[in-house]
């Protein structure tokens, strides 16, 4: 059994503040002394992992981690380690102290977990000291939760069952955006329907964002650009996020208060389908384009190009102006994507709403491996328009 390859084992990682009972819960769940337990906060300094058989889950690796609320430089390193482990884990258990009313760090960490597309279980531990759930529910979004006591074993069976149920679920596609906000969050969408838009329906990124907001219990106000002032006046509170079509971003920014977080549909897509940081750097690399450079424009679907098409006309025009001379453009559409991209100086992709995250990432990986910067249309417009940093603030 111990020889089951690690990749075939279910990795279950435990996260939480110091002293909430992560190690105690790992030991209680497994019936083994995996980790040292003590009343001194910070007793688990480095991640501890152990492979074992845990019925009915089968072969697993449990990973116990150091507290997320550690302070100082070492603390920052520990948090980075914890994030690495989050990426490796199949199931992520967030342990908290049921009796502690301060759940600020837990809410933040849950957002981080959701952003990574983690399968999450919340374990409220030490219920022997907090028999009744106190106060209003603190969970920022729907997520399975169990109440347990590692010390007296209460709730452990339910905890095991919840893990089994979670393991049976396929990993979620990370939420496009709404999963990063509490339920009831208000989104103001600016979605002008220009001549490029298909007749009688919204374009897919808009549909997907609206659906994501509804799925996560959010509220949406949608209007075209010309109605923006009226739309703003109709709100009874400040929106949690303004999401606009990239092409009118600068005009939207001019009209909304400076402290309203704002981003573009395509930036949300970059975050959900690819890697926002890498692709924002890709946009910044536009500064390095010189006349004669090769730019690959990649669209994930095939459609009829209309006049002033963003991929074929708008972006090439902007880039050539910036580079100060003619560039070489290659265009691919649909499933076509070059086998090797090393000859390119830059790749600019569409948002990728028609392809899966895995598919998009395989293209991004190819670019990264070849040392070629890659970005998308919206990030390109954001950078060229001078509002890239403003549109990324919502994700910091
Ligand atoms: N009353 C009670 N005490 C608990 C429970 N679980 C853990 N403890 C106690 O809480 C303290 C911390 O437990 P640990 O398991 O070391 O906590 P940890 O989260 O691993 O802590 P660090 O490794 O320091 O981050 C110990 O004194 C445990 O005995 C519980 O369910 N009820
Ligand atoms: Mg510990």
pLDDT for position 39: 86
Closest ligand to Cα 42: 1
pLDDT for position 255: 94
Mutate to test the pocket of ligand 1, among 21, 29, 147 (most ligand atoms within 8 A of CB): 21
pLDDT in tens, 348-386: 999 888 887 778 888 998 899 899 999 999 999 999 999
Which atom of ligand 1 is nearest to 28's Cα?
6
Nearest to 151 by CA among 132, 125, 183: 125
pLDDT for position 73: 67
pLDDT for position 122: 97
Closest ligand to Cα 149: 1
Angle at 249 between CA 244 and CA 252, to 5 degrees: 85
How many CB atoms within 10 Å of residue 17? Answer: 21
The answer to whether the CB of 263 falls within 8 A of the CB of 272 is no
pLDDT tens per residue across all 396 residues of the chain: 445 555 457 889 999 999 999 999 999 998 888 888 888 888 888 888 888 888 888 888 899 998 888 766 667 777 777 877 887 788 999 999 999 999 999 998 998 888 777 889 999 999 999 877 766 789 988 899 999 999 999 999 999 999 999 988 766 666 888 888 888 999 999 999 877 677 888 888 899 999 999 999 999 999 999 999 999 999 999 999 999 998 899 999 999 999 999 999 999 988 888 889 999 999 999 999 999 999 999 998 776 666 778 888 999 999 999 999 999 999 998 878 888 899 999 999 998 888 877 788 889 988 998 999 999 999 999 999 999 999 998 887
Residue whose CA is closest, atom 9 of ligand 1? 21
Cα(142)–Cα(358) distance, integer angstroms: 25
Residue whose CA is closest, atom 2 of ligand 1? 126
What percent of the chain has pLDDT above 90? Answer: 53
pLDDT for position 1: 40
Burial of 165 (0-12, 13-18, 19+ CB in 10 A): exposed
pLDDT for position 339: 84
Ligand 1 centre distance from Cα of residue 122 (Å): 16
Ligand 2 centre distance from Cα of residue 34 (Å): 10
Cα(326)–Cα(12) distance, integer angstroms: 53
Burial of 378 (0-12, 13-18, 19+ CB in 10 A): buried
Ligand 1 centre distance from Cα of residue 150 (Å): 8
Ligand 1 centre distance from Cα of residue 161 (Å): 22
Which atom of ligand 1 is nearest to 18's Cα?
25
Ligand 1 site residues (CB inside 6 A) read: 16, 18-24, 37-39, 41-44, 66-67, 125-126, 128-129, 149-151
pLDDT in tens, 233-290: 999 999 999 999 988 999 999 999 999 999 999 999 888 888 899 999 999 999 999 9
Token representation of residue 53: 């058989």
pLDDT for position 4: 52
pLDDT for position 2: 44
Instruction: Give the single-character DSSP code of 226.
Output: G
Q: Where are the alpha helices (DSSP H) in the chain?
A: 22-30, 72-88, 104-115, 156-168, 204-215, 228-234, 249-255, 265-273, 276-284, 315-323, 357-369, 377-385, 388-392
Ion ligand 2: residues, CB < 5 A:
22-23, 44
Domains defined along the chain, listed by start: 6-168 (3.40.50.300), 178-267 (3.40.50.11420), 278-391 (3.40.50.11410)
Angle at 121 between CA 156 and CA 114, to 5 degrees: 170
Residue 65: phi and psi, rounded to 5, are -120, 170
Ligand 1 centre distance from Cα of residue 23 (Å): 7
Q: What is the pTM of this model?
A: 0.58
Ligand 2 centre distance from Cα of residue 82 (Å): 13
């Amino acid at each position: 059994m111990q020889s089951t390859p690690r990749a075939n084992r279910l990795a279950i990682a435990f996260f939480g503040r110091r002293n909430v009972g992560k190690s105690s819960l790992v030991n209680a769940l497994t019936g083994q002394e995996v980790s040292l337990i003590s009343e001194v906060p910070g007793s688990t300094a480095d991640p501890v992992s152990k492979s074992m058989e845990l019925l009915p889950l089968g072969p697993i690796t449990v990973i116990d981690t150091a507290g997320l609320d550690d302070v100082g430089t070492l603390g920052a390193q520990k948090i980075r380690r914890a994030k690495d482990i989050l990426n490796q884990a199949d199931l992520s258990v967030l342990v908290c102290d049921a009796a502690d009313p301060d759940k600020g760090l837990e809410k933040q960490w849950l957002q981080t977990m959701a952003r990574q597309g983690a399968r999450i279980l919340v374990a409220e531990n030490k219920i022997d000291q907090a028999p009744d759930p106190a106060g209003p529910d603190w969970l920022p979004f729907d997520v399975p939760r169990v109440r347990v006591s590692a010390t007296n074993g209460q709730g452990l069976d339910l905890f095991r069952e919840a893990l089994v149920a979670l393991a049976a679920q396929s990993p979620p596609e990370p939420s496009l955006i709404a999963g990063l906000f509490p339920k009831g969050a208000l989104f103001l969408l600016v979605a002008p329907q220009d001549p490029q838009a298909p007749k009688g329906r919204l374009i897919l990124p808009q549909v997907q964002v609206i659906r994501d907001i509804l799925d996560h219990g959010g509220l949406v106000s949608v209007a075209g650009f010309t109605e923006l002032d009226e739309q703003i006046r109709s709100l009874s509170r400040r929106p949690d996020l303004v999401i606009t079509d990239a092409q009118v971003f600068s005009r939207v920014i001019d009209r909304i208060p400076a402290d309203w977080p704002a981003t573009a549909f395509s930036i949300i897509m970059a975050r959900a389908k690819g890697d926002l940081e890498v692709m924002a750097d890709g946009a910044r690399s536009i500064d390095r384009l010189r006349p004669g450079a090769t730019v690959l424009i990649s669209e994930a679907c095939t459609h009829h190009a209309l006049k002033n098409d963003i991929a074929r006309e708008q972006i090439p025009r902007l880039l050539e102006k910036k580079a100060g001379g003619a560039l070489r453009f290659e265009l691919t559409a649909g499933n076509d994507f070059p086998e090797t991209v090393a000859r390119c100086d830059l790749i600019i992709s569409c948002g990728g709403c028609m392809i899966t995250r895995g598919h998009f990432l395989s293209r991004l990986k190819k670019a990264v491996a070849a040392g070629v910067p890659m970005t998308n249309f919206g990030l390109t417009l954001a950078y060229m328009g001078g509002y890239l940093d403003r549109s990324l603030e919502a994700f910091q």
